[in-house]
Amino acid sequence: MTTLPYTFRQEILNIKPYVPGKPIDEVKRELGLTDIIKMASNENPLGPSPKAKQAIVEAVEKLHIYPDGYCFELRRAVAEKVQVDDNQLIFGNGSDEIIKLLAETFLQPGDQVLTGSPSFSEYDYATHLMGGEMVKIPLKNNRFPLEKIAESISSKTKLIFICNPNNPTGTCVSAEEVDRFIAQVPDSVVVIFDEAYNEYVEDENYPDTLKYIKDGKKNVIVLRTFSKIYALASLRIGYGVASPDLIALVSRTREPFNVNSMAQFAAVAALQDREHLELSRKVNSKGKTFLYQAFEDMNLNYIPTEANFIMVDTGKDSKLLFQKMLRKGVIVRTGDIFGMDTYLRVTIGTMEQNQRFIKALKECLEEM
């Protein structure tokens, strides 16, 4: 880095800037294409609930008023949904912000954070921001290695992030595994279950992590989001569930008005639309089955998923394949950023999008 006339926190040099899925408008500008589908960022292809969209329209007249910093109506709706008290919830500008708030609350330079690898990059960002030490333990059979993580806990360990289903693999750990794991974690270590994709899960052995909180565990927090199945990604709204004591601590690091009014109104409305939620699940399940069969017909290995995306091993350089797919108007995610150089991560779309993706993938692989 060029020598600068001022000092800065050296810890930030360990932060790798987040690279999001390539935006549609950027591809249009770069390649001059007009017909593009994005299957890179695990977004709900159906878009948000009609009720959520109507709530946003009605909220336009209130844009001059600061949002409710306490998120009262949303807090009441989520508390009813997950069956906890109001003071057991915290809301954030996406669950990403809550990850950052947790790091700001608990980490000092040199403190240790444990997670599996590959997993969600925001854990790295939040840890390095506060000068913490990130310890990544390789996944076992593409799943979080809970036993190894438990064995790695030391006196320096402050936080453990468990992404379940995991991004990017889409795999889950079971209720039995989590029970054994929680029994081994000392109360001084905060365990964060990041469940951004939990509404898509079909596995009957998926753990009910909220039970630990309801049973009085004060070192567990469960994170969820409205960005995925509720399709409110652009509004940035997520929440955490934990003991009142933990919530009170983390809330001290939260900025006032961190959740905008549009997000609050839309999220309340989205929770009321069970029909849209169920349709989103059905579209995802049907699309998953279609893509599995297509990959098998193409003799491509893939990782069975419990989320709304699939990692598929193409046997080719994912960066080169990504560029070829772009030229066909299909945006996917390269696996190299996860250390999986021949994999693509593809979001499960509508059936039309899934069919177009497979057609483009076949053509590109033939060209390579």
Length of the chain: 368
Q: How much is the pLDDT for 2?
A: 65
Tens digit of pLDDT per residue, the chain (368 long)?
A: 567 788 878 888 888 877 777 788 887 888 888 889 999 999 999 999 999 999 999 999 999 999 999 999 999 999 999 999 999 999 999 999 999 999 999 999 999 999 999 999 999 999 999 999 999 999 999 999 999 999 999 999 999 999 999 999 999 999 999 999 999 999 999 999 999 999 999 999 999 999 999 999 999 999 999 999 999 999 999 999 999 999 999 999 999 999 999 999 999 999 999 999 999 999 999 999 999 999 999 999 999 999 999 999 999 999 999 999 999 999 999 999 999 999 999 999 999 999 999 999 999 999 98
pLDDT value of residue 242: 98
Residue 282, pLDDT score = 98
**Is the bond preceding 207 in cis, omega lying within 30 degrees of 0?**
no
At residue 13, the pLDDT reads 84
The confidence score (pLDDT) of residue 50 equals: 98
Can you tell me the distance from the alpha carbon of 293 to that of 289, in angstroms, rounded to the nearest whole number? 6
Interacting residues of 11 by C-beta distance below 8 A, sequence separation 6+: 109, 128, 129, 130, 131
**Residue 20, pLDDT score:** 72
Pairing of strands 309-313, 301-303: antiparallel
Distance of CA 270 to the CA centre of its chain: 18
**Rounded CA separation 88/239 (Å):** 10
Dihedral angle sign, alpha carbons of residues 173, 174, 175, 179:
negative
Domains of the chain, earliest start first: 17-47+275-367 (3.90.1150.10), 50-272 (3.40.640.10)
Q: Residue 269 phi/psi, 5° resolution?
A: -65, -40
Nearest to 140 by CA among 148, 131, 151, 132: 148
